[in-house]
Chain A
Amino acid sequence: MRITRIVAAFLRAAVLKETAYRAELVGNLFRSLTGIVVAIGGLAVVFSHTSDLSGWKLEQAMVLMGVYYLVQGIVQTALSPSLNEVVQEVRKGTFDYVLLKPVPSLLLSSTRRFVVWHVADVILGGTVIAVGLIRLEAQITVPMAAVFVAVMIGAVAIVFSIWLALTTLVFWFVRVENITMIFQLFFDTGRYPVEIYPFWLRQLLTFVFPVAFITTVPAQTITGREPLVAIWLAPLVGALALLAAARFWRIGLSRYTSASS
């Protein structure tokens, strides 16, 4: 298919570019590893004072931390590099060249760049999830794993939608380089289960800025905890968020006037 061929070409170019800077690659991998070790260290400190964090055991919280890094890795590998470029291009007016290509602008804008080494976060996150599950001696059945994958896809769809919606604001405000910091700000609350937050913040993180669906719900699914919200909601929220964000993108796009006009 044409679209997969295009994305594959972008991916190949990204891998080639990365292999040119091998020392950098090793440094970055070391950084990813340190980041996760520090995060687990933080969990260890917290659980040295309790064995139960709002109903979560250490191993379950580890799985959640793993989910956080997995999603974070996906964002930084595949989502943020392309969308950050959109922000730059709209400001400079070079976004014209994206519109001139015979490919849907949204596809091109969201798959052009990959920062391949961030895959390390995905792998490390997966490892942390696995270690947590083994220490839990969890019985993972095939249907459970399938639900987990579906919920994770929903989570990534939500993240992509939020990021895309924030990026789309560029068509109105032009200077929004920092707006993605707002995403990271809320996303950081997802390092811990949403149950720990006070009522008002929990509502905010479930319904307005659905971080709960990104880390807490997937971790609940796979560790067999009583779900916070009906799990089938997660892929549904993801699909709805995608539709809304794509619609918003089209509205924003119609306002694009290039740089000099």
Chain B
Amino acid sequence: MIVRRTTLAGALALTRAEIADMFQYRTQLFIYALWSVIGPIVYLAVWGSIAGDGDVGGLRQSDFAAYYLTFMLVTQLTVAIEIYTFGPMIQQGELSPHLLRPMNPVWVAAARNISYKSVSMLLMIPLWFGFVFILRPEFSVTVGSVALFVAALMLAALLSFLVGTTFALLAFWTTRSYSFWEIWVWLTFLLGGQVAPVELLPGFVQNLATALPMRYTLGFPIEVLLNRLDAGQLALGFALQILWLAAAALTVRAVWRAGIRQYSAVGA
């Protein structure tokens, strides 16, 4: 994708404006951040209580603590909010003024996504350190794994954004796009590394989770950071992540083009 310089400047300006806008909703963002922090605690407690003083499939209590503490940050940084931000824009006809601008309105969604994450992270970090203090995780990270983690995290956030945008764009055709999105969220819960690290899923389901895109929006970066993968699994993971990213980019493009052709604002 070739991005023109004017587009880039526009996107930066948009993001600045969105960040300023986002600061109005501090309480709301704090509650969302709280959500990202408390949610994983349930599954940390489940696995922690099963592990006890021993281990589950090679993972000890401190490993689960590290996994789900990383999960808190990763879920907040990769979450797709487009179904709430971009979907309603299409449904309520607010898309129209954005169509007059010399850049694709998907950039508006991207700017909002980035600003949401930057502001909510500010609110979340103190909470997160509180939990690190309580849960005493054991992070067995290396310089290499951190570097690869950053790459996997960025790709995951991008993939998640593209998937979220695709579901939001369904609003061109149906008022029920939210229901489709919910099914995706549930699949991510099961196969993406939330209910359990993917390595703990039973055989067949684990293969499914490795092949499908959900893991690459959430669980994969965590596994990379905590050195849970050997070289072969790492290479396969990144290859699949990039593959799904390419597929998602093409899908967004196709769905946008088809949708915009039959878009008519409310009242038109």
Tell me whether B31 and A27 are in contact (CB under 8 A): no
Q: In the complex, what residues of A have CB within 8 A of residue B35's CB?
A: 181, 185
Tell me whether B182 and A53 are in contact (CB under 8 A): no
- A interface footprint on B21-34 (CB within 8 Å = 1, 0 otherwise): 00000011001101
- Cβ of B14 within 8 Å of any chain A Cβ, yes or no, is no
Task: State the CA gap A178–B183 with chains docked (Å).
Answer: 23
- Cβ of A236 within 8 Å of any chain B Cβ, yes or no, is no
Q: In the complex, what residues of A have CB within 8 A of residue B5's CB?
A: none
Q: In the complex, what residues of A have CB within 8 A of residue B127's CB?
A: none
Tell me whether B49 and A42 are in contact (CB under 8 A): no
User: 8 Å CB contacts to B: which residues of A35-94?
Assistant: 35, 38, 41-42, 45-46, 48-50, 53-54
Tell me whether A45 and B201 are in contact (CB under 8 A): yes
Most chain B CB inside 10 Å of its own CB: which residue of A41, A49, A53, A181: A49
Nearest-neighbour CB distance to chain B for A61, whole angstroms, equals 10
- Cβ of A34 within 8 Å of any chain B Cβ, yes or no, is yes
Nearest-neighbour CB distance to chain A for B33, whole angstroms, equals 11
Tell me whether B42 and A42 are in contact (CB under 8 A): no
Task: State the CA gap A14–B202 with chains docked (Å).
Answer: 44
Known contacts A45-B200, A178-B27, A181-B31, A53 near B39 by CB under 8 Å: no
- Cβ of B247 within 8 Å of any chain A Cβ, yes or no, is no
Q: How many residues of A contact B (CB 8 A)?
A: 31
The chain B residue with its CB closest to the CB of A180 is B31
Most chain B CB inside 10 Å of its own CB: which residue of A24, A45, A182, A189: A45
Interface size class of B (residues with CB under 8 A): 20 to 34
Nearest-neighbour CB distance to chain B for A65, whole angstroms, equals 12
Tell me whether A34 and B46 are in contact (CB under 8 A): no
Nearest-neighbour CB distance to chain B for A117, whole angstroms, equals 13
Tell me whether B46 and A192 are in contact (CB under 8 A): yes
- Cβ of B186 within 8 Å of any chain A Cβ, yes or no, is yes
User: 8 Å CB contacts to B: which residues of A193-235?
Assistant: 195-198, 200-201
Task: State the CA gap A38–B190 with chains docked (Å).
Answer: 7
Partner of B42, one of A24, A38, A188, A195: A188
Q: In the complex, what residues of A have CB within 8 A of residue B39's CB?
A: 185, 188
Nearest-neighbour CB distance to chain A for B174, whole angstroms, equals 10
The chain A residue with its CB closest to the CB of B185 is A38
Task: State the CA gap A188–B45 with chains docked (Å).
Answer: 13
Q: What is A's interface to B at a CB cutoff of 8 Å? A: 24, 27, 31, 34-35, 38, 41-42, 45-46, 48-50, 53-54, 175, 178, 181-182, 185-186, 188-189, 191-192, 195-198, 200-201
